[in-house]
Amino acid sequence: MTKNILYILLAAIVYLLGSRAYFYNQSQKLFASSGAFTNDYSVGKENDPLVTYLVLGDSTAVGTGAASVDQSYPYLVAAGLAEPGYKVHVINHAKSGARLHDLITNQLPFIDSVNPTLVTISIGANDATHFTSHAEYQQDLRTLRDVISKHPSTQFVVANAPDMGKTIAIPQPLRALIGYLAKQENDLLLQEIPDLHLADIYGQAKLTHLNEYASDRFHPSALGYQSWASVFLAAINKKP
């Protein structure tokens, strides 16, 4: 009986390590694929009124997990905005692996040179997986709030962190811990920027089905990004 239990435990460990290695390899392939996506494009008719759309964030804003840029949520948001008669110029400065502090330091400065009509931000997942301290996250949120207040003519729509407690690639009990940290980040977001145009992907676009995840079981698939885009568009169109 003892030997049988030992064999079961060893088999479980081998399986767990193998699955983690598989998911990691899949992520590297997805990063390479999305890294080739264009980050400057237009959607809509040439002579329609112009909307300049700046995309900031992490790998989800890049579109990692989608097979092509037109499956990414920024493209889908741009297409939704173009539908009533706009030309949407998308400039994407998101970076895979970015945390909130990286966004503050390396991405937010593009606002002054781009002078966008709209900015969307998706960030926070990497802060949860890297255990960013609450004090640091809170301070960076205050910086983000100050930047938003200094650009009243630009609409900012910020997504909260996704529900990391449902991320298949993260093993339990680590998944539950990271999910808890993401929820705390979201509470801080609303505490520090209460009047925010919030894209509530945590509450309204949870990835609960296997086909909503890409092959690495960490990033959204094209179907997952469709859900995210719908939430962003609803937040953009919501009256202040």
* CA-atom Rg of the chain in angstroms: 19
Give yes or no for a contact between 156 and 119, defined as CB atoms under 8 angstroms apart.
Answer: yes
Q: What are phi and psi of 64, to 5 degrees?
A: -60, 130
pLDDT higher than 60, residue 57? yes
pLDDT band of residue 15 (cuts 50, 70, 90) is: very low
Kindly report, residue by residue over 99-127, the tens digit of the pLDDT.
999 999 999 999 999 999 999 999 999 99
What's the rounded mean pLDDT across residues 193-204?
96
Please choose, from the candidates 199, 168, 85, 181, the residue with its C-alpha nearest in 3D space to the C-alpha of residue 128. Answer: 181
Give yes or no for a contact between 110 and 93, defined as CB atoms under 8 angstroms apart.
Answer: yes
- What domain count does the chain have? 1
Give yes or no for a contact between 53 and 118, defined as CB atoms under 8 angstroms apart.
Answer: yes
pLDDT in the model for residue 237: 82
**Residue 105 belongs to what domain range?**
2-237
What's the rounded mean pLDDT across residues 160-179?
94
CATH code at position 72 = 3.40.50.1110
Query: Tokens 């964030």 appear where?
Result: 57
3-state helix, strand, coil in the chain (%, to 5): 55, 15, 30
Give yes or no for a contact between 72 and 133, defined as CB atoms under 8 angstroms apart.
Answer: no
Give yes or no for a contact between 58 and 125, defined as CB atoms under 8 angstroms apart.
Answer: yes
Please choose, from the candidates 216, 218, 222, 220, the residue with its C-alpha nearest in 3D space to the C-alpha of residue 67. Answer: 222
pLDDT in the model for residue 17: 39
Q: What is the pTM of this model?
A: 0.90
